[in-house]
Structure 1
Amino acid sequence: MYAAEHDIPLNVHGAVADGGRGSADSTTVSLFSAERTEPDVVESTGELERTLGLWDGMAMVIGTIIGSGIFSTPALILEAVGSVGMSMVVWLIGAAASVCGCIVYMELGTMLPRSGGEKEYLAAAFPRPRALLPFLFCMSSIAICSPSGLAADSAVTGTYFMYAGTGRTTDHNAWAQRMIGVGVAVLCLLLHGFFVRAAIRIQGVLTVIKVLLLLLIVVVGMVRGIGGGVRRSDTAGGLFAGTSTHPSAYVSALFKVFFAYSGYTSLNYSTSELRNPVRNLPRAALGGLLVTATLYVLSNVAYFVVLDPAMVRESGTAVAGVFFTQALGRTWGQRVVPLLIGLATLGNVMCGTFAASRVVFEAAREGFLPLGTVLGHVSRFQSPLAALALCSALTSLFIVAPPPGEAYAFLIDIGGYPQWIFCGASVVGLLVMRRTHAHLPRPFKAWHIASAVTIACAAFMCVVPFVRPEHVDPHAIPYWAAPLTAVAFIAVSCSAWATMSCWHGPLK
């Protein structure tokens, strides 16, 4: 099923593919150059070490997936779809679609085992117009997708720390909560920037805490269910009573679900730091996703066993805190466990920052960003320090810029929309490359059904957000604000690409 690393031939850019191994004297060639035979933009200043083994990779996948989503989005999802039964169905749909996406990305990652994720896949599949799609992906990922997701996770970290201190799920001091989030972003910068190996070990420890917390949720739910403590006050009409029939409700819910499942592609952005990536990438990615999806579904069952739907709705983004308070009492449930949940979401920010900085690092080396020699530099601490600093700064900006109230949901929506555009384009590109790059070895080949499901999900998630919801709150952020902002940013990035293309000469 798997091929050895040395079986990988020339890659699509004409350089010898070494399975993700880099040489210290390699150079990076700008995708904007008319000919890619001379390093005309950014010279490599060293390569990142291969520090990730199979367990490290799986821990990073699990750690990146398990973040604020499972601890904060169930109330938003229930509010959107209207019933407990449909809420569970949406979580199952998200799991199935994520597994399909993961399978597709396993083929992409083993066929092109180089850090950068969609940047590399789009460059290989769509070489004309030169660098357009890779550039748009990098700009969207760096400026919108990554910082908005990290900001949402950082904000939830602040929510749970505040809940542990005050016992309130809402009505926190907004700026105190945001400053905690900024502190989380800065802490991740310091750990990943100056203590690389220690940061990886900390991620592993925090990943264990996350898994144990989810297992605790599942066990508590099972004990309460067996003991007859199931809440039924709002489900007398059936699990599907009150289910919404409007498509906009489901796209809103799915954005939250897919946000909770996002992260299974994290290793595709740091393949060059994964030992034996052709063998370990599929095992770590799919294994981590399956473990997480199982825990997610069982955790949602547990939430509705201990809490009735009204309590879930009222909990806002602190549903896990309310759950443990109800199940374990004020001392453990309100004080101790929420602190652990805060640490768990901090671990998610660490994993996300690690992956996001690698996108900045690779984009800088391709000449997509100004100060490329700085942002694409490997520091003496064996980290992309400048790239990490940029990620931390953008995350902090997203934490403090949006208005309070709906900020969390807005951050999820605005970050998720571009991801689906480029995810769909990457899967289409995979199908194209099966014809145009048929000579490349495919240690793992995705099923056609996985590709079809992923493309269908991408189309649904890109079109339906523009459909007017059934109920519109005139005082809320407009429903079209997040997708329209993302589309506008991509359009502006097209203009930037055209300018840079002219600057670097005619494209062939």
Structure 2
Amino acid sequence: MSERKSLEEDDDFDFEEGGLPKKNNKPILGILTGAGFNINQIIGAGIFQNPGVIWLLVQSPGIALILWIIGGFMSLLGSLIYIELGLRTFPSGIGEQKYIEEAFPQIKNLGHIFSFVAIFAIIPGGVIADSYTSAKYLLYAIQGDTYIYNQINKIILPITAIIILGMIMTYHILSNKLSVNINQTLALLKLLSLLIISMVGLVKLSNSNNWNNIFNTNSPKLGDYANAMMKVLFAYWGWNNINYSIEELKSPKEKLKYSSIFSVIVSFIVYILTNAAFITEVDYNNYTANLTNTTNESPDMAIAIFFVGNNELGRRFMSLLIAISSFGSVGSMFFVYARITEYAAATKFMPKRSNLFNYRNKRLGTPTNAYLAQFIYCSILTGCFSIYGENPFDFFSDSSQYLATVFQGVSGICLIVLKTRSNDVYDGFQTPIFITIIYLIFIVFMTFASFVAGTNISDDIAQRPSMHYIISWIVTILGTIYWYSRNFINFGYLNNTQATDIQQ
């Protein structure tokens, strides 16, 4: 009996033309709810953890603020590129896999390289980084221990992170509407919280001398700037989330551009206000001196420290806020992860297993198998990498952001190829080529500058980034090997197998 016949006997499956299971999918996102999925991932742990770390890397509050502005500007340019790519390829596919295949149709399934890297590295890395962060600050909020890194049990921390992943998986499986409502609530909570934090700091602007000489610097190396910029980009990561959920949008041709642009602009404004408040409230010299002379503080607790000082109850509250923010970011990534897995499965990325993941439960309308698979995979990685240390945030966030940045550059190349093709007849939303070129120059700089070693201020503040990015390229090479072996080495065998199935 063929695989399709056996599946047809299952009431949970419908079939489209071509023999692939059809998803029970109804558009559920409008402009604001679509933007909410972007915002919920963009505003994760990065804005709470990274301001102080970036200060120490570039050794200048002014330069740090400029990097945040550059990050927002480049995210907006990237968003414009992805809007056109998303509308060009809709409704036949989503994300970088489709963009690559549209630009290079002569190379069979070339986009599967992205799917491999996204499914096994990019998204899981972000999920693990933020779930660890959520678990760490939740435990700190409960126990109130100021020795954040040293006192949280190495066994309890990964277990808590896995429990958080399980909670997120559960509500995503139960209902698309529930996941959208939770996502929107968390996005609004984070926006309001950061605005309040910003206002608390900025009301002291007239009495603050901290803006004097904010560009004093000890001339960090290129690697320090690149490492700091990568942390900024991770804080902005998620501006293209809605591209992976475009089929969930009501009237996507109208709403994709508004959701994407709105989410980037709102996040940019909140980030700049928060950093401005941080500069207003915190004296750079005293801040760095205190971190150097005490083991009780951590640079990634910078926002909480400046907002509540030494008030223990206040620190617990801020820790809870960071935990909730990270929780929401993981939820947004889970939603996207399932859609990437679905589309990869629909294009036979996983032979003999694709129908399991290109599937939505008829009763729930959710991609249950994709959610379950990503929970299991991320939980296994969380357990395996718990020996890395109590704060794997830098390792996973830097690796994920680097890979995402590389493929965003690839997408920019794809757009240029599509726009300059002689038979191009697209007449929808257009992004000028010069914008794409500017974006690609930035991506190339980040790709190579990240390998340049920095000053290595300390293990927790400025790790040498090269190992993270070497591992990222190893994953990409493995994805290329998988794609090549899947489509060329075994190509004849697969054709024969498919022919046999058809005859049966």
Output the TM-score relative to the length of structure 1.
0.86
Contact 1:224 1:305 in 2 (8 A): yes
For 1:264-413, list aligned pairs within 5 A. 264-309=239-284, 310-311=286-287, 314-326=297-309, 329-331=311-313, 333-370=314-351, 371-380=353-362, 381-402=364-385, 403-404=388-389, 407-413=392-398
Contact 1:162 1:172 in 2 (8 A): no
For 1:398 and 1:318, the matched residues in 2 are separated by 25
CA, structure 1 residues 308+175, in 2 after alignment: closer, same or farther (shift >3 Å)?
Answer: farther
Q: Deviations over 1:151-173 (max 9, x none)?
A: 11111112321332314243231
Q: How many residues align?
A: 465
List alignment gaps of at least 5 residues for structure 2.
1-12, 292-296, 496-504
How far did residue 437 of structure 1 move?
Answer: 6.7
How far did residue 75 of structure 1 move?
Answer: 2.1
Residue 159 (1) aligns with residue 136 (2) = yes
Specify the alignment match of 1:503 in structure 2: 490
Specify the alignment match of 1:18 in structure 2: none
Specify the alignment match of 1:193 in structure 2: 173
Where 2:477 maps in the other structure, the secondary structure is helix
Residue 420 (1) aligns with residue 402 (2) = no
Q: Which amino acid aligns with 1:83?
A: S
Specify the alignment match of 1:263 in structure 2: 238
CA, structure 1 residues 391+308, in 2 after alignment: closer, same or farther (shift >3 Å)?
Answer: farther
Q: Deviations over 1:54-108 (max 9, x none)?
A: 1211111111211111111112211211111111111111111111111111111
Specify the alignment match of 1:128 in structure 2: 106
Where 2:350 maps in the other structure, the secondary structure is coil
Which moved further from structure 2: 91-100 or 114-123?
A: 114-123
CA, structure 1 residues 477+75, in 2 after alignment: closer, same or farther (shift >3 Å)?
Answer: closer
Q: Which amino acid aligns with 2:287?
A: M
Contact 1:163 1:321 in 2 (8 A): no
CA, structure 1 residues 473+176, in 2 after alignment: closer, same or farther (shift >3 Å)?
Answer: same
How far did residue 335 of structure 1 move?
Answer: 2.9
Specify the alignment match of 2:468 in structure 1: 482
Where 1:383 maps in the other structure, the secondary structure is coil
For 1:47 and 1:202, the matched residues in 2 are separated by 21
Q: Which amino acid aligns with 1:129?
A: I
Specify the alignment match of 1:455 in structure 2: 440
Which moved further from structure 2: 194-203 or 401-410?
A: 401-410
How far did residue 315 of structure 1 move?
Answer: 3.1
Specify the alignment match of 2:183 in structure 1: 203
Contact 2:220 2:454 in 1 (8 A): no
Contact 1:406 1:477 in 2 (8 A): no
Contact 1:72 1:317 in 2 (8 A): yes
Contact 1:91 1:297 in 2 (8 A): yes
CA, structure 1 residues 163+316, in 2 after alignment: closer, same or farther (shift >3 Å)?
Answer: farther
How far did residue 369 of structure 1 move?
Answer: 2.1
CA, structure 1 residues 396+306, in 2 after alignment: closer, same or farther (shift >3 Å)?
Answer: farther
For 2:138 and 2:55, the matched residues in 1 are separated by 24
Contact 1:156 1:345 in 2 (8 A): yes
Correspondence for 1:86 among 63, 75, 88: 63
For 1:311 and 1:385, the matched residues in 2 are separated by 47
Instruction: Tell me the C-alpha RMSD between the 2 structures.
Output: 2.5
For 2:151 and 2:251, the matched residues in 1 are separated by 47
Where 1:378 maps in the other structure, the secondary structure is coil
For 1:200 and 1:244, the matched residues in 2 are separated by 45
Contact 2:149 2:390 in 1 (8 A): no
For 2:145 and 2:205, the matched residues in 1 are separated by 26
Contact 1:231 1:306 in 2 (8 A): no
Specify the alignment match of 1:250 in structure 2: 225
Correspondence for 1:432 among 417, 431, 434: 417
For 1:148 and 1:471, the matched residues in 2 are separated by 23
List alignment gaps of at least 5 residues for structure 1.
1-22, 28-37
Contact 2:454 2:464 in 1 (8 A): no
For 1:259 and 1:192, the matched residues in 2 are separated by 24
Contact 1:100 1:454 in 2 (8 A): yes
User: Aligned residues: percent identity?
Assistant: 24
Q: Deviations over 1:297-354 (max 9, x none)?
A: 1101112222333537643322232233229x443x2233432332122111111110
Contact 2:220 2:455 in 1 (8 A): no
Which moved further from structure 2: 417-426 or 351-360?
A: 417-426
For 1:363 and 1:154, the matched residues in 2 are separated by 25
Q: Which amino acid aligns with 2:194?
A: L
Specify the alignment match of 2:94 in structure 1: 116
Q: Deviations over 1:245-273 (max 9, x none)?
A: 42111110111100010111001001111
Contact 1:135 1:497 in 2 (8 A): yes
Output the TM-score relative to the length of structure 2.
0.86
Q: Whose helix proportion is higher, 1 or 2? A: 2
Q: Which amino acid aligns with 1:55?
A: L
Where 2:453 maps in the other structure, the secondary structure is coil
How far did residue 244 of structure 1 move?
Answer: 3.1
Specify the alignment match of 1:32 in structure 2: none
Contact 2:418 2:424 in 1 (8 A): no
